[in-house]
Amino acid sequence: MPFPANTDEKTKEAFTDPQVGDRFTEMYSFWMYIIGQRDNKVITMEGSPPITFPEGATMHTYTLEEFNTRFSYGSIDGYWVTLVDRGNNVEGWIEEGLYK
């Protein structure tokens, strides 16, 4: 899959190689953390303020292709979320999402 021209390099890298602890935002009104990644699966926690993570967030599981499709614009190049940082501590968040 070719990368969109107007997406910054760090965000492109994160969508190519998603890692547990990656945090993304869309204008600070939507947040998404990667809380699991194995083989071709990406598990996220997603939500918008005023929720707190992980208690108020929603857990989703995507294939890598679905993950890229979900967060890309589709009609134009680029992603509608931006990588904020990597390496956040999300230990125990999968369990939190499973037992809601």
Helix (H, G, I), strand (E, B) or coil at 13: helix
pLDDT number for residue 7? 52
pLDDT number for residue 85? 95
pLDDT number for residue 4? 44
DSSP structural state of residue 4: P
pLDDT number for residue 100? 61
- What does pLDDT average to in each consecutive run of 10 residues of the chain (100 residues)? 58 93 95 95 96 94 95 86 96 83
The full set of domain ranges for the chain reads 9-98
pLDDT number for residue 75? 83
Q: Output the pTM of the full model.
A: 0.87
Query: Judging by beta carbons within 10 Å of its beta carbon (0-12, 13-18, 19+), is residue 6 exposed, middle or buried?
Result: exposed
pLDDT number for residue 64? 95
- C-alpha 64/C-alpha 70 separation (Å) is 10
